[in-house]
Structure 1
Amino acid sequence: MNKNFVSFLMSTGKKHVTLNGDSNLSVEDVLSIARKCLPVHIKLTPEKKQRMQDSYDHMMEQVRNGIPIYGTNSSFGAQAGRLHHDGDEEERVKIARRISESILIADVSVGPSLPKDVVRAAMLIRVNMLLPGMSAVKLDDLSIFIEMLNKDITPIVGSYGSIGASGDLAQNCRILNAAMQRSTTKVIDRNGVTRTADNALTAAGLKKLELGPKAGLGLVNGDNFSTAAAALLFVDTVQLMLLNTAVSALIIQALRGTDRSFHPILSGVRLHPGQKFAALLYRKLLQGSKLSYQEMSGHKLRESGVKVQDGYSLRCLSQFFAPHWENLIRIKDTITTNINSVSDNPIWVPPDYATDGEKPWQWVSGGNFLGIHMAESIDQMRKILTHITKVNDRHLARLINRNENNGLPDNLSDNKSLTKCTFKGIQIQMGMMEVYSSVLSIPVTTFFGVHEEDNQDITAHGLTSWLLAKENLRLARYAVATNLIASMQAVDLRAVNEPEGKGKELLSPATQYLYDFIRKSIPYIDTDQSLSHYLEDIYNKISDPDTIAQLTEPLLDLLE
C-alpha cells in the first residue's frame, strides 16, 4: 500500500472526462463528474460505433423476424412467457416499441431524494456500461444523458424502490422519464430550481428521448445507482479513515501514549500491508510530539504509577484498522470493475465473444444486472464506519477518566468548572452513537426476500445497504468531530500553566494544522456549557467535500 491507493483524492488538473468504451473510467472520473460537474464527452472509434450499431441492427432484424427476445417482444420478469411477436414486420416493431415504453411501470422510486452527486454518478456510469455496444442501445439515446449532465440538469430520484436484482430499475426509470421530458417528472436545473422535466430540458435545448425496441430495458436494467452510491461512499470512507488516523494520533498525544506501539518490527514480522500502511502513518503523525513518548530508539522511564504499555485502543490501532485498509483497496478494485462492466439483460454476442460454433449477434439472458458486488462492498464499508465510531468512543472514554488519562482532570474540566463534568454529556452522547452504529453495521446481503411473482428470488439490495451507510457515515463523522474537539481540550489542559497558545507547540509538527483548524472556531472550554453547537459546527465542516479534502491533503503528503 502506498500513495497510489489514495491518488484519486488528489487533483490531476483534468478539465473534462472522456468516455471511449475502453473500460477505463476511474473512481476519480466519477467523482469529478458527480461533485465537480466537469464536462463529459463521448469519443468512440469508428469500430466501437459500428459495434453499437451492429447490436442494434441485429436486434431490430430479430424483432422484425419475430424471434422471441426477452423484454423486447416478451413481457418482463415473471411474465416472460407472454410473447408479443405476431403480425407483419411493421406491427412487430410497433409492439416492441410499446413494450419498451411499458418498462416505465417500474418508475416507483419514492422517499427522500437521492443526493445530486449520486444521481449524476449513476447517469455517467449507466452510459459507460452501455458503450461496449452489446445492449442494442443507440448512441444517440446515450447522448441525451450526457447533455443532461453537461447542462447540469439532475432528475429528482427517490431513495426507496430498488432491490438491486434487475439492477436499480426504479431509480433508472426516473432518469428515463426525465429524458423523455414527462411533465410529471421533476428535475433540478443548474440554478438549483425545481422544474418539470419537459420545461427544463426544452429550455436547455435538449431533444426528447423516444424509445425504440429494447431501449427502455437497456437504459434501466443495470446496477449503476448502486455502483454510484458505492463509489461516492468509498471516497467519503477513505477520507474519513485518513482523518480518523490523524485524530487517533491526537488522542495518543493527549493521553501521553507512545509511538513505540508502531515500531516497524511489528509489521515486519506480521506482513499485512494494511498494518504496515497504518503504522507508517502513525509514526509520521507522532514524530516530534512533546506529549507522546518518542521511543523509536528505546523505552523511556515513566512516572510512578504510569503504565509501561498503552491500552488496546491505542497500541493496537494499526492492527485494528489494517483489514479495513486492505478491504478498501479491494473495494476500490471491485467498484472500478463494476463501473466499466456491461450491466444489462439481455445482451447480444459480438463475434469476438462467440463460442465455438455459435453464430454471432444472438441474444443472451443472464444476471449481469445483479448488484451483489456493490451490496457486499457497501456492507463492508458500513462495518468500517462502525469501527471508526467505536474506537472514538473508547478514546473519549479514556480522555475523560482520571484513572486512564495520565493526569488530565475529570471530564476534561478546567479549574473553573464547579461540577468537573464539562465533557460528561458529550461522552454519554458518544455511547448512544456507538450503539446505533453497531445496529447500522448489520449486513444487508443476508437479508433478502422473494419478490416479483417469485421471479426475483435472489436479490442484492445495494441501495438499501447504502441508506444504512449514509446514516452510519453521519455517526462516524460526529464521532470524529467529537474527538477533534475533545483532543484539543486535552492538549490545552496539558498546557494550562503555559502561556496561551502553547498547546499547539506540544503537538507533533504533522498534527499542528488540526489545532489551527479547531481553534479557528472552537475555543478552549473553561466553563461548563452546552457543546452541541460546537459539535455541529465541526461535523458540518468535515462533511463538506472541499474542507475534508483540505484536511486530508497534509496526510497524503506524509505518504510521499
Structure 2
Amino acid sequence: MEHFNYGIDFLTVGKALQIAKGETKGTLSASSIEQVEKSAQAVEDIVSGERTVYGINTGFGPLCTTKISAKDTRELQYNILKSHSVGVGKPIDPTIAQLMLILKAHSLAQGFSGIQLSTIERIIWHIDNQAIPVVPEQGSVGASGDLAPLAHLFLPLIGLGEVYFKGERMSTERLFQITGLQPVALGPKEGLALINGTQFIAAHAVMVVDRLYNCLSHADIIGAMMIEALMGSAKPFSPRLHEIRPFKGNRHVAHRIRVLLEGSEILNAHINCGRVQDPYSLRCIPQVHGSSRNAWLHLKELLEVELNAVTDNPIILSAEETISGGNFHGQPMALPLDYAALAAAEIGNISDRRIYLSLEGKVEGLPQLLMNDTGINSGFMLPQYTSAALVSENKSLCFPASADSIPTSLGQEDHVSMGSISGRKALQIIGNLEQILAIELLCAAQAFDFRRPLRSGPALEACHAYVRTKIDHADKDRIFADDIQKARTIITERKLIALTQSEMAQKESPFHVEFENY
C-alpha cells in the first residue's frame, strides 16, 4: 500500500480520495512530528507566560478582549467544541466527512496550529478505522472557518456526538465501549485549531472536482454519440478552427471528439449531404464543454493550493511570534465553486438541447420521439420532460452563494464567504447533471440503433455495445425511470471512460496532463 506523509507530501484531489478509500495510508513523518511538538510547546509557553494571544488565553470572536486564566484555558477548548456544535439539516455524505478529517490532519501536521501530537494521532485513527463523525450539512457561513461542521466533526474526540462505524450510526459513547478508546485531553488552543479552517468547503470541492470531471468526460462521449446519431458534421472539431481561438478547454474537447469519431462509417455516409451546418448543441460542443472544462481546471488548481494550506487562526510560529489573520476565510474557494456550479449547469443545458433535437424527427432515418410506433406509444417524449425539469432546477441553484454576506459574531466577523453553501449547491447541480446525461445517453443509444447497418468508430461502438448489455432498445413504452437509473449507474461507475481510454491514450490531447489528471 502507498503511504502519504501528512503535513509533508503534496496533497491532491486524487490522493485525498485514495486515502478516503483506504487505497493509500496517511502517516506522520519524523519531521512533521518534530514540528507539531515544537508548536504545541510554544502554546504551553504562551499559557505560562504573560503574553495575551487570541484563542489561547482569550475568548473567541467578539470575546477576544476577555482574558482567560491559565487554569481555564483547557476548559475553554472543550466549551468551544460544544458551543459551536450548532449544525442543522441532514448529515453530509460520510465520504465528505472522511475527507474533512484527512484535510484537517494534513493541515494540522504542518505544525503551525499548536495542537498536541496525540490529538492528530486520534484523528488519524478515525480515518484509518473508518469511524466517521456525523456532521450536519447546514450552519457554516464559510468564514472564521467552517465552525459548526468542524465542531461536530471533532465532538467524538471528547466523547460526544455520533459516528458511523462498521455500517452502523452510533453514539461516540458506544464507539468507546466497542473500541476501548478514552476521550482526548485537549490542551490550550486545540479546540480553536480543530474548528478553524475551510475543510468543510474544501472537502465538498474535492467531490466537485472528481464528480464534475466524470460528467465532463461522459458529456464528450455522449455528445459524440449524438453527433453520429443525428448525422452531424466533424468539421466543427477541426484543429485549425480551434488553433485560431486557442482556449485550452475548447482545444481539448475538440481533440477528444475527433478521436471518438475516427473511423466512422456514419460520418462518411453523409459527407456530401446538403446540410450547411448543425445546430449549436452539436456544432458548439468544444466551445461549451470546453468552457466548462476551463472552469473545472480553475477550481482544481486553486483547490490544490487550499488542500496544502494552513487555514487556522492564530498561526503559531513560536512562543514569541504568533499571527492573528484571516486564512480561515472561505472566499478563495467560494468563488471558483460558484463558477464550477455554473459550468456544470451549462453542460446539462446543452445536453437537454441535444436530447430535444434527437426527438424532433427532422433528421433522416430517425423517427419522431425515437420510436416507430408512436401514438399508442409516447416514445422518449417524457424523459425529456425530466431533463427539462432538472435543467430548470439547476438554473435556480446557480445564484452564487459567494455574492452574499451576513455579519456574524456581533460584527467582529463582518464579511463572510458563504462558501459552504457554494460547495453544497455545486454538488446538487452535479447530481442533477448526472441524471440529465443519463437521459441523453438513453436517447443517444436509441438513436444510434437507427443508423444500422452503418457503424461508428471503435470507441463509440464499444460504448454503445456496453449500454446495450444493460439497457435494451425500446420498441414500445416501458418504465423509463428504470432505464434512467441504469444509465446513471453506467455514468457514475465511469464505464464509458474506461472503454474509451485506450483510444484516447494512443492520441493524447496536448492538454491531457492538465485536464485528465487530478
Same fold (TM over 0.5): yes
Is it true that 1:221 corresponds to 2:196 in the alignment? yes
**What does residue 163 of structure 2 align with?**
187
Deviation, structure 1 residue 428: 2.2
Q: Which moved more, 1:323-332 or 1:264-273?
A: 323-332
Deviation, structure 1 residue 543: 2.9
Bigger fraction of residues in helix? 2
**Other structure's SS at 1:54 match:** helix
CA contact (8 A) 1:227 1:338 kept: yes
Structure 1 pair 556–71 and aligned structure 2 pair: CA distance change class (3 A): farther
Within the candidate set 366, 376, 380, 2:339 is matched to 380
TM-score by length of 2: 0.93
Within the candidate set 428, 431, 438, 1:481 is matched to 438
Distance in 2 (CA, whole Å) between partners of 1:315 and 1:326 is: 19
**Other structure's SS at 2:112 match:** coil
Deviation, structure 1 residue 40: 2.0
Within the candidate set 123, 138, 148, 1:145 is matched to 123
Within the candidate set 329, 332, 345, 2:297 is matched to 329
Distance in 2 (CA, whole Å) between partners of 1:114 and 1:37 is: 22
Structure 1 pair 478–280 and aligned structure 2 pair: CA distance change class (3 A): same
1:136-215 pair list within 5 angstroms: 136-182=114-160, 185-189=161-165, 191-215=166-190
Distance in 2 (CA, whole Å) between partners of 1:294 and 1:137 is: 68
Distance in 2 (CA, whole Å) between partners of 1:334 and 1:76 is: 29
Distance in 2 (CA, whole Å) between partners of 1:559 and 1:238 is: 19
Distance in 2 (CA, whole Å) between partners of 1:101 and 1:285 is: 58
Is it true that 1:40 corresponds to 2:29 in the alignment? no
Amino acid at match of 1:220: I
**What does residue 207 of structure 2 align with?**
232
1:179-210 C-alpha deviation (Å, 9 max, x unpaired):
2222xx11111x21122113214523444211
Amino acid at match of 2:288: F
**What does residue 482 of structure 2 align with?**
533
Gaps of 5+ in 2: 509-518
CA contact (8 A) 2:22 2:128 kept: no
1:221-263 C-alpha deviation (Å, 9 max, x unpaired):
1101211110121011011100110000000000001111111
Deviation, structure 1 residue 212: 0.7
Deviation, structure 1 residue 395: 0.2
Deviation, structure 1 residue 31: 0.9
Distance in 2 (CA, whole Å) between partners of 1:559 and 1:196 is: 53
CA contact (8 A) 1:288 1:294 kept: no
Within the candidate set 72, 97, 106, 2:74 is matched to 97
**What does residue 369 of structure 2 align with?**
411
Within the candidate set 383, 390, 393, 1:433 is matched to 390
1:75-474 pair list within 5 angstroms: 75-85=59-69, 92=70, 94-104=71-81, 105-182=83-160, 185-189=161-165, 191-293=166-268, 300-302=271-273, 306-350=274-318, 361-403=320-362, 405-414=363-372, 416-419=373-376, 421-474=378-431
Structure 1 pair 307–483 and aligned structure 2 pair: CA distance change class (3 A): same
Distance in 2 (CA, whole Å) between partners of 1:361 and 1:323 is: 49
Amino acid at match of 1:168: D
Deviation, structure 1 residue 452: 2.3
CA contact (8 A) 2:463 2:496 kept: no
Q: Percent identity?
A: 24
Structure 1 pair 123–556 and aligned structure 2 pair: CA distance change class (3 A): farther
Distance in 2 (CA, whole Å) between partners of 1:316 and 1:111 is: 40
1:382-418 C-alpha deviation (Å, 9 max, x unpaired):
1121011101111011111123x3441111112x333
CA RMSD of aligned residues (A): 2.0
**What does residue 511 of structure 2 align with?**
none
Distance in 2 (CA, whole Å) between partners of 1:39 and 1:511 is: 37
Q: Which moved more, 1:36-45 or 1:234-243?
A: 36-45
CA contact (8 A) 1:411 1:422 kept: yes
Distance in 1 (CA, whole Å) between partners of 2:272 and 2:202 is: 53
Amino acid at match of 2:345: T
Q: Which moved more, 1:171-180 or 1:549-558?
A: 549-558
Distance in 1 (CA, whole Å) between partners of 2:140 and 2:269 is: 53
Is it true that 1:16 corresponds to 2:2 in the alignment? yes
Structure 1 pair 106–559 and aligned structure 2 pair: CA distance change class (3 A): farther
Structure 1 pair 556–341 and aligned structure 2 pair: CA distance change class (3 A): farther
Paired positions, count: 507
Amino acid at match of 1:140: S
Q: Which moved more, 1:519-528 or 1:197-206?
A: 197-206
Amino acid at match of 1:379: D
Within the candidate set 54, 61, 70, 2:38 is matched to 54
Distance in 2 (CA, whole Å) between partners of 1:229 and 1:555 is: 32
**Other structure's SS at 1:119 match:** helix
CA contact (8 A) 2:6 2:105 kept: no
**What does residue 512 of structure 2 align with?**
none
1:442-475 C-alpha deviation (Å, 9 max, x unpaired):
2110022112212222111222112212221121
Distance in 1 (CA, whole Å) between partners of 2:446 and 2:483 is: 12
Structure 1 pair 235–271 and aligned structure 2 pair: CA distance change class (3 A): same
1:129-179 C-alpha deviation (Å, 9 max, x unpaired):
112211111122100000111111111111011111011111111122112
1:489-508 pair list within 5 angstroms: 489-495=446-452, 502=453, 506-508=455-457
**Other structure's SS at 2:35 match:** helix
Amino acid at match of 1:520: T
**What does residue 461 of structure 2 align with?**
512
Structure 1 pair 446–412 and aligned structure 2 pair: CA distance change class (3 A): same
CA contact (8 A) 1:243 1:551 kept: no
Amino acid at match of 2:61: G
Within the candidate set 44, 48, 63, 1:64 is matched to 48
Distance in 1 (CA, whole Å) between partners of 2:181 and 2:506 is: 47
Structure 1 pair 555–127 and aligned structure 2 pair: CA distance change class (3 A): farther
**Other structure's SS at 1:129 match:** helix
Q: Which moved more, 1:275-284 or 1:308-317?
A: 308-317
